[in-house]
């Protein structure tokens, strides 16, 4: 059986499983549709949260980003896990106590204002749609790899599947499907990592393998990798130099952390558990399940770049046999060339591949002089392919390759489903039922949600085809928006009893607008390429702040604007202050 | 102010104290050891891991997990002590 048939079989089997579960667990009421009837066990919810949360960006792009960033890639690892600490400590238990269906609903009730609720819906839509783009691109890449078709066709197939899938289940169906998706995803991620770790270092656990010596040698893997990167004109892999500046690493980590805590599609997962204490514990379980992948990812990234460099440069740099001949290219390279995500060009026409850092002028000049190199000959190397190509690079069996493809698609589908539910509930429950058409029937409420879902898929699909950056970076922008608009407002709603509607609305708007303006200035208006006002490079960034990390600063603007406006306007009514008192304790005997 | 209000305030204060301790640890392992102090810490190695690199890519995550469970456990104790726990 060839690889394509095998991959199609494995992916097809997982699809049958998801659709089977979605049909078996169909929602029967609005409570089941929005919050799974609040009957989900905290460990099961933790697992579903992990699947909901770990997107195509985590599964496909993150290890690739880390592979090319080295040490500073830790911003993504710490940022996307540290947010759970904030969520467990500062948001989840209180929002569970409040006990409604959506995040804008909490903001609307707490700040006794439909305007606040609408602003929250706008923030939610801005970030969820941005976030869905990353998922669509991830699905497109995975499909184009399995079916060996151009990215556009892969993307369209992905859109069709997401549509069927998202329309089938409410929160209840999604929850049980996500548990299955988590199992497939984590298996698909760790099996190749264990194989590769065993081959390179002889250690079963990749987390230990990354800190071990190379098989049969005394040199540590990281040491050897540092040396190889330097030999090719790059910076040392594990050193703090290279990658992003300390300021940007700090801001990006912070933006990702508070953004994670403010993501509405993750927060609503904590509305599905029975009690407040379950909400706290469930966040811990979610992080355990997420941590399994996130502590494996650095090993995957480092070992992928190690394998890639050693495939292209099998011997000493600069000697003839030190470079792979074009005719000896392994099959996986040719497969990926068909997708257009990997491309070579024999610039110095010596029939061999040279891959090095041509942006390092000193090194490039030396290489031209000494070795006769005329530029790096891997002209396109999409970072997003690193995880998917990893098992092939390491020469693992066909079923592992098929499994990785299924895992990548599981990751993208589970997150897309969660996001689409958040988008459609914001439109049908918050906008239509909550504000514009309070008398809408339940049937029409669901119909409106589905139409909104379809529109979101089309829009995200278009942008997935013309993306403003790599999948993980697109997602990073969504986090900036969550960080700058929703998190500060939710937190102030719980921890500042005197915060009033004027302050909350001003804060959200200031956070959202400043962050969007800063991002659009460098990434193009609404991400359409060619409309950027300034080049997206460090010398043009305001105070050297990367747009992906701006959310942390937007959040500060949000807090400051909210505080100033609160001081200038009248304090919230008594019953709202009592509401805040009541969300702060798990059990209130006599609700006053 | 009633007895219950006083107890409610004491509960909230104890809670904020616990939050402050947990958030300090959260900040220390990630922004402190994983970013700001990573360069000097990299001079020390555990196995093949430079220490700053280890915190940024492994250690911070392990600490976060433990931190949430410890917080959940301490909160359950606090909830019972002030008699605001759920059934």
Question: Which residues of A fall within a CB distance of 8 Å from B34?
Answer: 74, 78, 253
pLDDT of residue A34 exceeding 80: no
**Closest Cα of chain A to B48: distance in Å?**
4
Calpha distance A388→A393 (Å, rounded): 9
DSSP 3-state assignment of A232?
coil
Q: Mean pLDDT across the stretch A274-280?
A: 87
B53/A78 Cβ within 8 A: no
Domain positions in chain B are 3-81
Query: Cβ contacts (< 8 Å) between A43 and chain B: which residues?
Result: none
**A287-291, A434-438, B34-38, B64-68: range with lowest mean pLDDT:** A434-438
- Alpha-carbon span A213 to A8, nearest angstrom: 37
CB contact under 8 A, B61 and A250: no
Number of domains in chain A: 1
What residue in A sits closest to B38 (Cα-Cα)?
Answer: A240
> Are A437 and A445 in contact, with CB atoms under 8 Å apart?
no
DSSP assigned state of A271 = G
Contacts of A202 (CB under 8 A, 6+ apart): A209, A212, A215
Hey, how many other C-beta atoms are within 10 angstroms of the C-beta on A325? 12
Name the A residues in 88-117 with CB < 8 Å from any B CB: 88-90, 93
A213 compared with A535, residue with greater pLDDT: A213
Cβ-Cβ contacts under 8 Å, A275 against chain B: 86
Is A211's CB within 8 Å of B71's CB? no
Containing structural domain, residue A531: 3-307+391-583
- Chain A CB contacts of B64 under 8 Å are 81-82, 84-85, 287, 291
Whole-prediction pTM: 0.88
**Average of per-residue pLDDT values in chain A:** 83
CATH number at residue A495: 1.20.1730.10
Please say whether the beta carbons of A488 and A111 come within 8 A. no
Residue A131 within a domain: yes
List the single residue in B with minimal CA-CA distance to A291. Answer: B61
Is A166 a domain residue?
yes
**3 state DSSP class of A468:** coil
A300-356, pLDDT tens digit by residue? 988 888 888 888 888 777 777 778 888 888 888 887 888 778 888 888 888 888 888
pLDDT tens-digit profile of A117-128?
888 888 888 788
- CB contact (8 A) between residue A210 and residue B49: yes
Asked whether residue A47 is domain-assigned, the answer is yes
Token code pair at residue A80:
């996307």
Q: Length of chain A in residues, anyone? A: 592
In a domain, A312, yes or no: no
> Could you tell me if residue A239 is inside a domain?
yes
Q: Does A193 touch chain B (CB under 8 A)?
A: no
When scoring A83, A240, A279 by the number of chain B Cβ atoms within 10 A, the one with the most, hence best to mutate, is A240
Nearest to A283 among B39, B56, B68 (CB): B68
Distant-in-sequence, close-in-space partners of A452: CB < 8 Å, separation ≥ 6: A423, A424, A427, A428
The residues in B 39-78 lying below 8 A from A, measured between CB atoms, are 39, 42, 46-50, 52-54, 56-58, 60-62, 64-65, 67-69, 71-72, 75-76
pLDDT average, residue stretch A448-452: 77
Partners of B84 on chain A (C-beta within 8 Å) are 585-588
Percent of chain A scoring above 70 in pLDDT: 92
The answer to whether A478 and A255 are in contact (CB under 8 A) is no
- How far away is chain A from the Cα of B17, in angstroms, using its nearest Cα? 12
Specify burial of residue A331 (Cβ count, 10 A radius: 0-12, 13-18, 19+).
Answer: exposed
Complex prediction ipTM: 0.94
Residue A377 belongs to some domain of the structure: no
Instruction: Indicate the pLDDT class of residue B74, thresholds 50, 70 and 90.
Output: very high
Answer yes or no: is A371 within a domain: no
- Provide the mean pLDDT of chain B: 89
Of residues A78, A210, A288, nearest to B65 (C-beta)? A288
């Amino acid at each position: 059986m060839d690889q394509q048939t095998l991959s199609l079989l494995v992916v097809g089997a997982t699809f049958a499983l998801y659709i089977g579960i979605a049909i078996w667990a169909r929602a029967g009421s609005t409570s089941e549709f929005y919050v799974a009837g609040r009957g989900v066990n905290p460990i099961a919810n933790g697992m579903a949260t992990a699947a909901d949360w770990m997107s195509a960006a985590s599964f496909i792009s993150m290890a690739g980003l880390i592979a090319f960033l080295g040490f500073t890639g830790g911003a993504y690892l710490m940022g996307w896990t540290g947010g759970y600490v904030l969520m467990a400590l500062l948001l989840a238990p209180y929002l569970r106590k409040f006990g409604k269906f959506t995040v804008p609903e909490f903001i609307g009730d707490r700040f006794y204002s439909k305007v606040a609720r609408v602003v929250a819906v706008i923030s939610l839509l801005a970030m969820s749609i941005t976030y869905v783009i990353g998922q669509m691109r991830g699905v497109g890449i995975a499909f184009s790899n399995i079916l060996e078709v151009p990215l556009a066709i892969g993307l369209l197939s992905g859109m069709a599947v997401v549509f069927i899938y998202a329309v089938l289940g409410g929160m209840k169906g999604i929850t049980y499907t996500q548990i299955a998706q988590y199992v497939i995803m984590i298996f698909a991620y760790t099996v190749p990592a264990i194989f590769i770790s065993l081959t390179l270092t002889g250690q079963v656990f990749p987390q230990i393998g990354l800190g071990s010596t190379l098989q049969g040698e005394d040199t540590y893997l990281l040491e050897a990798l540092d040396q190889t990167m330097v030999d090719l004109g790059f910076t040392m892999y594990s050193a703090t130099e290279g990658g992003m500046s300390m300021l940007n690493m700090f801001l990006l980590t912070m933006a990702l952390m508070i953004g994670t805590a403010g993501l509405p599609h993750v927060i609503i997962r904590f509305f599905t558990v029975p009690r407040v204490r379950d909400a706290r514990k469930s966040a811990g379980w979610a992080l355990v399940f997420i941590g399994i992948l996130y502590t494996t990812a650095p090993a995957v990234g480092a070992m992928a770049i190690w394998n890639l460099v050693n495939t292209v440069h099998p011997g000493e740099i600069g000697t003839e046999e030190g470079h792979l001949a074009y005719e000896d290219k392994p099959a996986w390279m040719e497969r990926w060339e068909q997708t257009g995500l990997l491309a070579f060009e024999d610039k110095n026409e010596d029939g061999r591949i040279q891959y090095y850092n041509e942006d390092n002028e000193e090194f490039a000049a030396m290489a031209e002089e000494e070795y006769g190199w005329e530029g790096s000959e891997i002209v396109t190397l999409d970072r997003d392919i690193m995880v998917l190509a990893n098992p092939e690079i390491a020469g693992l069996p066909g079923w592992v390759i098929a499994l990785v493809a299924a895992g990548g698609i599981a990751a993208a589908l589970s997150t897309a489903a969660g996001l689409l539910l958040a988008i459609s509930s914001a439109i049908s429950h918050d906008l239509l039922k909550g504000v514009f058409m309070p008398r809408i029937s339940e049937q029409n409420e669901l119909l409106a949600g589905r139409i909104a879902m379809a529109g979101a898929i089309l829009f995200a699909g278009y942008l997935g085809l013309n993306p403003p950056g790599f999948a993980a970076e697109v997602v990073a922008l969504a986090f900036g928006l969550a960080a700058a608009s929703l998190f500060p407002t939710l937190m102030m709603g719980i921890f500042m009893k005197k915060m009033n509607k004027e302050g909350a609305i001003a804060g959200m708007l200031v956070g959202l607008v400043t962050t969007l303006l800063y991002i659009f200035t460098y990434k193009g208006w609404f991400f359409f390429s060619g409309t950027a006002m300034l080049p997206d490079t460090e010398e043009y960034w305001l105070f050297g702040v990367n747009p992906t990390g701006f959310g942390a600063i937007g959040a500060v603007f949000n807090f400051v604007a909210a505080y100033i406006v609160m001081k200038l306007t009248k304090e919230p009514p008594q019953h709202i202050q009592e509401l805040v008192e009541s969300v702060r304790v798990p059990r209130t005997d006599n609700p006053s | 102010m009633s007895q219950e209000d006083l107890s409610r305030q004491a509960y909230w204060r104890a809670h904020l104290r616990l939050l402050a301790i947990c958030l300090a640890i959260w900040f220390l392992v990630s922004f402190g050891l994983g970013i700001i102090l990573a360069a000097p810490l990299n001079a020390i190695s555990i196995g093949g891991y430079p220490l700053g690199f280890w915190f940024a890519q492994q250690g911070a995550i392990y600490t976060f997990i433990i931190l949430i469970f410890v917080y959940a456990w301490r909160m359950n104790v606090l909830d019972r002590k002030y008699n605001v726990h759920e059934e």
